[in-house]
Amino acid sequence: MHPTQEALPRSETHLSRSHMRAEVISGLTRRPKVIPSKYFYDERGSRLFDAITELDEYYPTRTEQAIMEANVAEMVARIGPKSLLVEYGSGSSRKTRILLDHLPDLAAYVPIDISREHLLRTAADLSAAYPGLNVLPVCADYTSGFALPEVEGPIERVVVYFPGSTIGNFEPGEARAFLEHVAEVAGRGGALLIGVDLQKDPAIIEAAYNDKKGVTAAFNKNILAHINRELDAGFDLDRFGHLAFYDAEHGRIEMRLVSLSDQCVRIGSTRIPFREHEPVLTEYSYKYSLEGFAALAAAAEFEVVKVWTDPERLFSVQYLEVR
């Protein structure tokens, strides 16, 4: 059995409080205000997102999982033996288990996640469930530079796994830059297995981000609780509301927090004023056509080799190779 790297030596990238403070204050002093969506994912945020994936309205997770279960044999044949499987934003690695059940001869599995506690717990669970698997967790912001851990033995290729339609959280220019970064990590002969949410009836999309139980609203507000804890801030969560709507012109969901009153919020020694009804952007989620995503991939030196979709074409899982 290969133990998980509890200490995360060398491969760990810390998100320092000073870096977080600079990003948050910079975003909140812009017009319009913005908070980087990566700060959703403290431990509670990760748990809330796992709860979102179980909601009736939230189609992406169950649809992606069904696509993977129906096509896993072809997916793992393309990944191949002795590959290094690197997952960006691994979370609970639930969908990853579909692959791991059919990949007994991986060189190693490298889950990368921003939430340290959630990451280590998941890595330990996977090591117990797959005794022959070398699990090497990396606590990092995967949009920044990080080092892959050293792996004993030969590696045939690097395959990055990026499920869950997270690519939609990047604006188009950022998405291209991110895919270029992934291509560098995968290297020549490498590949990317990615979930891509597709354009569809806006009513289906909007319902997924405005669930009746209010879990998505709690997830959205938790970004403020995370900032309070890490940055000695004074956000009153009850003075902000959740808003999510589909922007048809840009083909994206926009998720925002809205100030319910005129107020001034302290972040350490900094004071940030908010007007009543003033929005704070917390997330975009772009929805792609198959042709549009293929063009984006090509601009980043990837070729779309295979696309799997569900019968209603709500979602896709795509296999890309570095050109």
Per-residue pLDDT for the chain (323 aa), expressed as one digit of tens each? 333 333 343 333 345 789 999 999 999 999 999 999 999 988 899 899 989 999 999 999 999 999 999 999 999 999 999 999 999 988 778 899 999 999 999 999 999 988 888 899 999 999 999 999 999 999 988 887 788 899 988 999 999 999 999 999 999 999 999 999 999 999 999 999 999 999 999 999 999 999 999 999 999 999 999 999 999 999 999 999 999 999 999 999 999 999 999 999 999 999 999 999 999 999 999 999 999 999 999 999 999 999 999 999 999 999 999 99
Does 233 share its domain with 269? yes
Q: What is the pLDDT of residue 146?
A: 82
- Map residue 261 onto helix, strand or coil: coil
Look at residue 141 in the predicted model and tell me its pLDDT: 84
Specify the pLDDT at position 297.
98
Query: What confidence score (pLDDT) does residue 249 get?
Result: 96
Half-sphere exposure of 9 (CA within 13 A, CB side): 2
What is the number of alpha carbons within 13 Å of residue 78 lying toward its C-beta?
20
pTM of the model: 0.88
- pLDDT of 5: 39
Nearest to 41 by CA among 256, 286, 225, 223: 223
Find the domain containing 263 and state its range: 23-55+208-286
Q: How high is the pLDDT of residue 10? A: 34
The answer to whether residues 99 and 232 belong to one domain is: no
Same domain, 197 and 83: yes
Backbone angles phi, psi at 68, to 5 degrees: -65, -45
168 shares its domain with 126: yes
- C-alpha distances in Å from residue 215, one per residue of 54, 62, 228, 238: 10, 17, 20, 15
Q: Are residues 304 and 216 in the same domain?
A: no
Structural domain includes residue 13: no
Q: Within this chain, do residues 213 and 183 fall inside the same structural domain, yes or no?
A: no
Give the span between the Cα atoms of 179 and 176, in whole angstroms: 5
How many domains does the chain fold into?
2
Residues 156, 276 within the same domain: no
Q: Which residue in 55, 14, 68 sits closest to 210, CA to CA?
A: 55
180 and 156 within one domain: yes
- 3-class secondary-structure state, position 263: strand
For position 91, what pLDDT does the model report? Answer: 75
